Amino acid sequence: MLLQLTDVSKSYTGVGRTVVALDHASFALDAGDFVAVQGPSGCGKTTLLLTAGTLLTPDSGTVALGDRSTAGMTMSQRAELRSESIGFVFQQFHLIPYLSVLDNVLAPALAARQNGKLSRARSLIEQFGLEDRAGHVPAQLSSGERQRCALARALLNQPRILLADEPTGNLDEDNAAIVLDALREFADAGGAVLLVTHDARAAALAKSTMHMQAGRLVPSVPIVAERSADQ
Protein backbone atom coordinates (compact mmCIF):
# COMPACT_ATOMS: atom_id res chain seq x y z
CA MET A 1 0.00 0.00 0.00
CA LEU A 2 1.45 3.38 -1.00
CA LEU A 3 -0.72 5.55 1.26
CA GLN A 4 -3.05 4.64 4.11
CA LEU A 5 -5.15 6.78 6.44
CA THR A 6 -6.68 4.94 9.37
CA ASP A 7 -9.43 6.47 11.53
CA VAL A 8 -8.10 10.00 11.00
CA SER A 9 -9.83 12.99 12.62
CA LYS A 10 -8.98 16.69 12.40
CA SER A 11 -10.76 19.66 13.98
CA TYR A 12 -10.28 23.43 13.91
CA THR A 13 -11.21 25.56 16.90
CA GLY A 14 -12.29 29.14 16.29
CA VAL A 15 -14.11 31.80 18.26
CA GLY A 16 -16.92 30.05 20.06
CA ARG A 17 -17.02 26.87 18.00
CA THR A 18 -15.13 23.81 16.81
CA VAL A 19 -15.34 22.61 13.21
CA VAL A 20 -14.77 18.92 12.54
CA ALA A 21 -13.02 18.74 9.16
CA LEU A 22 -12.26 15.01 9.22
CA ASP A 23 -14.36 12.57 11.17
CA HIS A 24 -12.68 9.17 11.54
CA ALA A 25 -11.71 9.01 7.87
CA SER A 26 -10.04 5.88 6.51
CA PHE A 27 -8.90 5.04 3.00
CA ALA A 28 -5.92 3.59 1.14
CA LEU A 29 -4.16 4.15 -2.18
CA ASP A 30 -2.12 1.53 -3.97
CA ALA A 31 -0.12 1.49 -7.19
CA GLY A 32 -2.34 2.25 -10.18
CA ASP A 33 -5.16 3.83 -8.17
CA PHE A 34 -6.74 7.05 -9.42
CA VAL A 35 -9.34 8.18 -6.88
CA ALA A 36 -11.45 11.33 -7.10
CA VAL A 37 -12.91 12.90 -3.96
CA GLN A 38 -16.07 14.96 -4.37
CA GLY A 39 -18.38 16.78 -2.00
CA PRO A 40 -19.74 20.23 -1.17
CA SER A 41 -17.48 23.13 -0.24
CA GLY A 42 -16.37 23.00 3.37
CA CYS A 43 -16.90 19.25 3.75
CA GLY A 44 -13.22 18.52 4.46
CA LYS A 45 -11.83 17.53 1.05
CA THR A 46 -8.78 19.79 1.17
CA THR A 47 -8.08 18.89 4.79
CA LEU A 48 -8.17 15.24 3.74
CA LEU A 49 -5.64 15.87 0.98
CA LEU A 50 -3.30 17.97 3.15
CA THR A 51 -3.42 15.38 5.92
CA ALA A 52 -2.72 12.59 3.43
CA GLY A 53 0.25 14.63 2.24
CA THR A 54 1.53 15.09 5.83
CA LEU A 55 1.22 18.87 5.57
CA LEU A 56 -1.32 18.68 8.40
CA THR A 57 -1.01 16.52 11.50
CA PRO A 58 -4.23 14.70 12.47
CA ASP A 59 -5.69 15.02 15.95
CA SER A 60 -6.08 11.24 16.04
CA GLY A 61 -5.60 8.27 13.75
CA THR A 62 -2.59 7.37 11.62
CA VAL A 63 -1.12 8.27 8.24
CA ALA A 64 1.35 5.87 6.63
CA LEU A 65 3.38 6.17 3.43
CA GLY A 66 4.40 2.72 2.36
CA ASP A 67 5.47 0.89 5.48
CA ARG A 68 6.35 4.09 7.34
CA SER A 69 3.92 5.63 9.80
CA THR A 70 4.27 9.39 10.15
CA ALA A 71 3.24 9.30 13.82
CA GLY A 72 5.97 10.80 15.95
CA MET A 73 7.97 12.15 13.02
CA THR A 74 9.53 15.60 13.29
CA MET A 75 8.62 18.29 10.76
CA SER A 76 11.92 17.77 8.93
CA GLN A 77 11.40 14.01 8.78
CA ARG A 78 7.93 14.48 7.31
CA ALA A 79 9.29 16.99 4.80
CA GLU A 80 11.96 14.55 3.66
CA LEU A 81 9.41 11.77 3.33
CA ARG A 82 7.10 14.04 1.30
CA SER A 83 9.90 15.03 -1.05
CA GLU A 84 10.70 11.37 -1.70
CA SER A 85 7.14 10.11 -2.13
CA ILE A 86 4.59 12.81 -2.99
CA GLY A 87 3.98 15.41 -5.67
CA PHE A 88 1.40 18.17 -5.10
CA VAL A 89 -0.70 20.03 -7.66
CA PHE A 90 -2.86 22.90 -6.34
CA GLN A 91 -5.55 25.08 -7.90
CA GLN A 92 -3.56 28.22 -7.07
CA PHE A 93 -0.33 26.73 -8.49
CA HIS A 94 1.93 27.90 -5.59
CA LEU A 95 4.83 28.72 -7.89
CA ILE A 96 7.68 30.82 -6.50
CA PRO A 97 7.04 34.23 -8.13
CA TYR A 98 10.64 35.35 -8.56
CA LEU A 99 11.91 32.08 -10.05
CA SER A 100 11.81 31.10 -13.71
CA VAL A 101 9.80 28.13 -14.97
CA LEU A 102 12.99 26.05 -15.03
CA ASP A 103 13.93 26.96 -11.47
CA ASN A 104 10.38 26.39 -10.23
CA VAL A 105 10.42 22.90 -11.73
CA LEU A 106 13.82 22.27 -10.12
CA ALA A 107 12.73 23.47 -6.66
CA PRO A 108 11.81 19.99 -5.29
CA ALA A 109 15.35 18.76 -6.02
CA LEU A 110 16.60 21.23 -3.43
CA ALA A 111 14.15 19.98 -0.81
CA ALA A 112 15.15 16.39 -1.52
CA ARG A 113 18.86 17.24 -1.53
CA GLN A 114 19.17 15.72 -4.98
CA ASN A 115 21.56 16.73 -7.73
CA GLY A 116 21.52 15.88 -11.41
CA LYS A 117 17.89 16.83 -12.00
CA LEU A 118 18.48 19.47 -14.69
CA SER A 119 18.05 17.06 -17.58
CA ARG A 120 14.79 15.68 -16.14
CA ALA A 121 13.47 19.21 -15.51
CA ARG A 122 14.12 20.19 -19.12
CA SER A 123 12.50 16.99 -20.35
CA LEU A 124 9.35 17.70 -18.30
CA ILE A 125 9.25 21.30 -19.50
CA GLU A 126 9.35 19.99 -23.07
CA GLN A 127 6.72 17.35 -22.29
CA PHE A 128 4.30 20.05 -21.14
CA GLY A 129 5.01 22.42 -24.01
CA LEU A 130 6.86 25.07 -22.02
CA GLU A 131 10.21 25.13 -23.82
CA ASP A 132 9.80 28.75 -24.93
CA ARG A 133 8.72 29.75 -21.41
CA ALA A 134 11.59 28.16 -19.49
CA GLY A 135 13.15 31.53 -18.65
CA HIS A 136 9.87 33.30 -17.80
CA VAL A 137 8.60 33.98 -14.28
CA PRO A 138 5.04 32.97 -13.29
CA ALA A 139 3.59 36.47 -13.81
CA GLN A 140 4.46 36.16 -17.49
CA LEU A 141 2.53 32.89 -17.91
CA SER A 142 -1.10 32.08 -18.59
CA SER A 143 -3.06 30.07 -16.03
CA GLY A 144 -2.68 26.95 -18.14
CA GLU A 145 1.07 27.43 -18.41
CA ARG A 146 1.36 27.94 -14.67
CA GLN A 147 -0.50 24.72 -13.96
CA ARG A 148 1.60 22.80 -16.46
CA CYS A 149 4.70 24.18 -14.75
CA ALA A 150 3.31 23.11 -11.36
CA LEU A 151 2.62 19.62 -12.72
CA ALA A 152 6.16 19.33 -14.08
CA ARG A 153 7.45 20.39 -10.66
CA ALA A 154 5.30 17.75 -8.96
CA LEU A 155 6.77 15.04 -11.20
CA LEU A 156 10.42 16.05 -10.93
CA ASN A 157 11.41 13.69 -8.12
CA GLN A 158 9.48 10.78 -9.67
CA PRO A 159 7.03 10.49 -6.76
CA ARG A 160 4.91 7.42 -6.13
CA ILE A 161 1.84 9.53 -5.25
CA LEU A 162 0.27 12.66 -6.74
CA LEU A 163 -2.14 14.70 -4.62
CA ALA A 164 -4.14 17.18 -6.69
CA ASP A 165 -6.48 19.82 -5.22
CA GLU A 166 -8.87 21.23 -7.86
CA PRO A 167 -6.06 21.24 -10.47
CA THR A 168 -8.45 22.20 -13.30
CA GLY A 169 -10.35 24.87 -11.38
CA ASN A 170 -8.64 27.82 -13.10
CA LEU A 171 -8.09 26.23 -16.51
CA ASP A 172 -9.76 26.28 -19.90
CA GLU A 173 -10.91 23.03 -21.44
CA ASP A 174 -7.72 22.36 -23.44
CA ASN A 175 -5.34 22.91 -20.51
CA ALA A 176 -7.62 20.94 -18.18
CA ALA A 177 -7.40 18.01 -20.60
CA ILE A 178 -3.59 18.17 -20.59
CA VAL A 179 -3.46 18.07 -16.79
CA LEU A 180 -6.03 15.29 -16.43
CA ASP A 181 -4.41 13.17 -19.12
CA ALA A 182 -1.08 13.50 -17.29
CA LEU A 183 -2.68 12.37 -14.02
CA ARG A 184 -4.28 9.37 -15.70
CA GLU A 185 -1.00 8.41 -17.39
CA PHE A 186 0.79 8.65 -14.03
CA ALA A 187 -1.68 6.18 -12.49
CA ASP A 188 -1.57 3.89 -15.51
CA ALA A 189 2.23 3.76 -15.14
CA GLY A 190 1.91 2.51 -11.55
CA GLY A 191 1.62 5.69 -9.52
CA ALA A 192 -1.31 6.61 -7.27
CA VAL A 193 -3.46 9.73 -7.65
CA LEU A 194 -5.81 11.38 -5.17
CA LEU A 195 -7.82 14.10 -6.91
CA VAL A 196 -10.04 16.57 -5.06
CA THR A 197 -12.43 18.13 -7.55
CA HIS A 198 -15.81 19.74 -8.16
CA ASP A 199 -15.40 19.08 -11.89
CA ALA A 200 -17.57 16.17 -13.03
CA ARG A 201 -15.42 15.77 -16.16
CA ALA A 202 -12.30 15.44 -14.02
CA ALA A 203 -13.94 12.92 -11.68
CA ALA A 204 -15.10 10.88 -14.67
CA LEU A 205 -11.48 10.20 -15.64
CA ALA A 206 -10.74 8.63 -12.25
CA LYS A 207 -10.99 4.90 -11.70
CA SER A 208 -13.09 5.31 -8.54
CA THR A 209 -14.70 8.06 -6.47
CA MET A 210 -15.18 8.85 -2.81
CA HIS A 211 -17.71 11.34 -1.51
CA MET A 212 -17.37 13.51 1.58
CA GLN A 213 -20.06 15.01 3.75
CA ALA A 214 -19.26 16.89 6.96
CA GLY A 215 -15.85 15.28 7.26
CA ARG A 216 -17.03 11.73 6.65
CA LEU A 217 -15.99 9.55 3.72
CA VAL A 218 -18.27 7.30 1.72
CA PRO A 219 -16.33 4.27 0.40
CA SER A 220 -14.90 4.28 -3.11
CA VAL A 221 -17.22 3.59 -6.01
CA PRO A 222 -15.66 2.05 -9.14
CA ILE A 223 -16.41 4.05 -12.27
CA VAL A 224 -17.90 1.81 -14.97
CA ALA A 225 -18.56 3.02 -18.47
CA GLU A 226 -22.25 3.21 -19.30
CA ARG A 227 -23.51 0.57 -21.67
CA SER A 228 -25.06 1.69 -24.90
CA ALA A 229 -28.82 1.38 -25.19
CA ASP A 230 -28.62 -1.55 -27.62
CA GLN A 231 -26.49 -3.77 -25.36
Residue 231 lies in a domain: no
Looking at this protein, which amino acid is placed at residue 83?
S
Residue 77 lies in a domain: yes
Looking at this protein, which amino acid is placed at residue 3?
L
What CATH number does residue 61 fall under? 3.40.50.300
Label residue 231 by pLDDT band (50, 70, 90).
very low
Instruction: Return all residues near 156 (Cβ < 8 A) that are at least 6 apart.
Output: 87, 105, 106, 108, 109, 117, 120, 121, 124
Residue 58 lies in a domain: yes
Domains: count for the chain: 1
Give pLDDT tens digits for 118-143.
Answer: 999 999 999 999 999 999 999 999 99
Give pLDDT tens digits for 72-130.
Answer: 999 999 998 998 899 999 999 999 999 999 999 999 887 555 567 899 999 999 999 99
Residue 185 lies in a domain: yes
